[in-house]
Amino acid sequence: MTHTVYIPGDAAAVALGADRVAAAVKQEAEKRGIKIKLVRNGSRGLHWLEPLLEVGTPNGRIAYGPVQVKDVASLFDANFVTGGKHALSLGLIEELPYLKKQQRLTFQRIGITDPVSLDDYIAHDGYRGLKNALGMTGADIVKHVTDSGLRGRGGAAFPTGIKWNTVLNTPSEQKYIICNADEGDSGTFSDRMVMEGDPFVLIEGMTIAGIAVGATQGYIYLRVEYPHAHKALNAALQKAYAAGYLGGNILGSGKKFDLEVRLGAGAYICGEETSLMESLEGKRGLVRFKPPLPAISGLFGKPTIVNNVISLASVPIILDKGGEFYRDYGMGRSRGTLPLQLAGNIKYPGLVEIAFGMTLRELLYDYGGGSASGRPIKAVQVGGPLGAYMPESQFDTPLDYEAFAAIWAVLGHGGVVAFDDTVDMADMARYSMEFCKIESCGKCTPCRIGSTRGVEVITDIIEGRDLAKNVPLLRDLCNTLLNGSLCALGGMTPYPVLSALNHFPEDFGIAGQADAA
Amino acid sequence: MRESGAIDTIVQDIIASLKDLPGALLPILHGIQDKLGYIPAETVPAIAKALNLSRAEVHGVISFYHYFRETPPGKTTVHLCRAESCQAKGAKALEAHVKNKLGIDYHETTADGAFSLEPVYCLGLCSVSPSMQIGEELYGHSSAELFDSIINAEEASA
């Protein structure tokens, strides 16, 4: 009998030794004459348990973790291939509370299937959305997306249906679908997990988008820092083409959609949609003035949908189960689920997909288990390097775009980075400015010069020079960046800087100020 | 070091195979850097000519992107993540240790050409911070001890 063993090929698991564990399991099985089928699945997102090994049994999949090479022989001794007891046994994976309490829509297959097996994808409800879409008009497809309430999961939270509708209604002989896979925000890894763990879901989402608005060419603009995702996407693209899910005549419908992966080159600014298009056109990634909107004049001057990975990967289930199914999750104007990413100084870091509305505190403590160091969590940065630092007094904020905006914070991509009380928030503020300085495209003055000047002013403050003059100067500079920058890089760098200053003034050597933000 | 004639042939092949793509410049630059490890200044005129761009435009693109380099890298490149999640788990101490151990700062190469050091703003391994990449290999839960053990093994095998 052949036993199926799952060991993630996800980069986070690989970074903790999953490839070596997989090689050891293979070798040990051969040595003992035990037949196994080894599947390199995606990660379930319980990253403190990686490398997490699973075996299929008649009762479900049994997990063991974290497994190192030295544990492999004893796992075989314990007959783990049939689910035998071992010190690293975790029981049925699906019953672990961290996983069981989640509401996985976009991540429904990730960690379960073989990411580059088209058969596996289809056996787990893949391509049902596309099949539905092929029988609909473009306007009907867009209506499902609009009804779902899906908003861009990349940061600005713009309603996806409105963007699609604009492209649908802009006549042009050529239109494009771009997937912004330049996820460069610290604390975020959900795009990477999707592309490595279920690349077909992104391909299907983009194909549906193309059919909806009449775009025949798509590009996945992928950051060069994700080589594992690059391999998985290309392997999946090849299979989708071979089976007729991409190309000139999709599933015999007469509809055409071609898709290609393009690599960025390490510029954070190319996650901004207009810079991204400049980069795809082969230029420096300088921000464009808007208008015109990319939906009207985008890549090569043609109407273009630019959505990020999670937004596009959420489309197949919406077209499979209907816009209303998706809309029934969430709160207020934040509909559906958000894959939240727990990182930094946290005991149980990982991926938690759940409907909008849970509080930050529940996420940090019920899922995250508090800090990894055991010290108090002092600050949490949500929404990437341009997101605000939130103090303990704001931990009861629900995870909802509007609730975050109301306290001058950003939910963005759902990345959550926790810091314990050893962090120096003035240092973190300086780092934010330095990041802006390093990554500024240079097109607008507030961002280009303001960030350089900002590093100098914060350094002066940290070194205690003329605080009465320099603190107001920093606020004034932030105001200029906030209101005068062309794009979100300069326009949002004040969020981490001012939130640090407002919530943690003692770290800057000054007494607290009443006016938050 | 490759002869400049060999470089010419490699670069011409890459240009010929990619120049008809829409927005071909980045794919061409990636192709050259993948093959040679960097983008030699003497290849710029040929790229510019093939794409009907000025040499300044091509140079402007190469210098805009952090990933492209105009000088050969060391035998092994060490990428340290400097982003917030890694900082929350001790990346700064690791950074100080690595710079001290290699005796170089970011964007520099050791005198013996063995190692180059580059910062990276997020490898997407935030949940296993701090993270680093040494050559092609990724490492989570990085520490000074882990770094030393890898580097010492590389040096022993060199």
In this predicted structure, the answer to whether residue A514 has a pLDDT above a threshold of 60 is no
Over A207-238, what HEC string results?
A: HHHHHHHCCCEEEEEECCCCHHHHHHHHHHHH
Q: Which of B20, B69, B79, B85 to mutate to test the interface with A (most CBs of A within 10 A)?
A: B85
pLDDT of residue A255: 98
Q: State the Cα–Cα distance between residues A32 and A463, nearest whole angstrom.
A: 64
Q: Do A343 and B51 touch (CB under 8 A)?
A: no
Q: Do B23 and A280 touch (CB under 8 A)?
A: yes
Question: How many residues are given for chain B?
Answer: 158
Taken in order A404, A409, A415, A421, the sign of the CA dihedral is: negative
Closest CA–CA distance from residue A366 to any residue of chain B (Å): 17
pLDDT of residue A511: 81
Cβ-contact A220, A257 below 8 angstroms? no
Dihedral of CA atoms A42, A97, A340, B86 in degrees, nearest 10, equals -80
The tokens for B68 are 């492209």
Among B residues 42-61, those touching chain A with beta carbons less than 8 Å apart: 51, 57, 60-61
- Of A268, A350, A385, which has the smallest distance from its Cβ to B127's Cβ? A350
- Chain A residues touching B73 at Cβ < 8 A: none
pLDDT of residue B3: 72
Mean pLDDT of chain A: 97
The tokens for A433 are 């400015």
- Chain B residues touching A343 at Cβ < 8 A: 85, 88, 126-127, 129
Q: How far is CA A504 from CA A273, A489, B86, B131, in A?
A: 33, 23, 21, 28
Q: Does B88 touch chain A (CB under 8 A)?
A: yes
Closest CA–CA distance from residue B140 to any residue of chain A (Å): 5
In this predicted structure, the answer to whether residue A517 has a pLDDT above a threshold of 70 is no
Dihedral of CA atoms A102, B139, A308, A278 in degrees, nearest 10, equals 170
Taken in order B67, B72, B78, B83, the sign of the CA dihedral is: negative
Q: State the Cα–Cα distance between residues A114 and A38, nearest whole angstrom.
A: 10
**Residue in A147, A259, A164 with CA at minimum distance from that of residue A207:** A259
pLDDT of residue A374: 98
What would the pLDDT profile of A455-512 be if each residue is shown by its tens digit?
A: 999 999 999 999 999 999 999 999 999 999 999 999 999 999 999 999 999 999 998 6
Closest CA–CA distance from residue B139 to any residue of chain A (Å): 4
pLDDT of residue A515: 47
Nearest CA in chain A to B132: A15
pLDDT average, residue stretch A347-371: 98
**Residue in B55, B139, B27, B31 with CA at minimum distance from that of residue B94:** B139
- Chain A residues touching B83 at Cβ < 8 A: 186-187, 385
Q: Does B24 touch chain A (CB under 8 A)?
A: yes
What would the pLDDT profile of A142-188 be if each residue is shown by its tens digit?
A: 999 999 999 998 878 999 999 999 999 999 999 999 999 999 899 99
Closest CA–CA distance from residue A184 to any residue of chain B (Å): 6
- Return the percentage of chain B with pLDDT > 70, whole number: 99
Q: Does A507 touch chain B (CB under 8 A)?
A: no
Closest CA–CA distance from residue B36 to any residue of chain A (Å): 16
Amino acid making up residue B141: H
pLDDT of residue A155: 78
The kind and range of the H/E element at A340 are strand A337-344
The tokens for A321 are 């189960």
- Of B24, B136, B140, which has the smallest distance from its Cβ to A12's Cβ? B140
Higher pLDDT, B156 or A240: A240
What would the pLDDT profile of B104-123 be if each residue is shown by its tens digit?
A: 999 999 999 999 999 999 99
pLDDT average, residue stretch A57-61: 97
- Of A265, A284, A343, which has the smallest distance from its Cβ to B60's Cβ? A284
The kind and range of the H/E element at B145 are helix B144-157
In this predicted structure, the answer to whether residue A362 has a pLDDT above a threshold of 90 is yes
Among A residues 37-96, those touching chain B with beta carbons less than 8 Å apart: 47-48, 50
What would the pLDDT profile of A80-90 be if each residue is shown by its tens digit?
A: 999 999 999 99
- Chain B residues touching A281 at Cβ < 8 A: 22-23
Q: Do B123 and A11 touch (CB under 8 A)?
A: yes
Provide the 10 A C-beta neighbour count for residue A517.
Answer: 13
- Do β-strands B137-139 and B132-134 pair in parallel, antiparallel, or remain unpaired? antiparallel
The pLDDT-based confidence of B157 (bands split at 50, 70, 90) is: confident
In this predicted structure, the answer to whether residue A243 has a pLDDT above a threshold of 80 is yes
Higher pLDDT, B5 or A402: A402
Put simply, whether the predicted model's pTM sits higher than 0.80 gets the answer: yes
pLDDT of residue B6: 87
pLDDT of residue A249: 98
Q: State the Cα–Cα distance between residues B39 and A460, nearest whole angstrom.
A: 39
Taken in order A394, A395, A401, A402, the sign of the CA dihedral is: negative
Q: Does A468 touch chain B (CB under 8 A)?
A: no
pLDDT of residue A1: 87
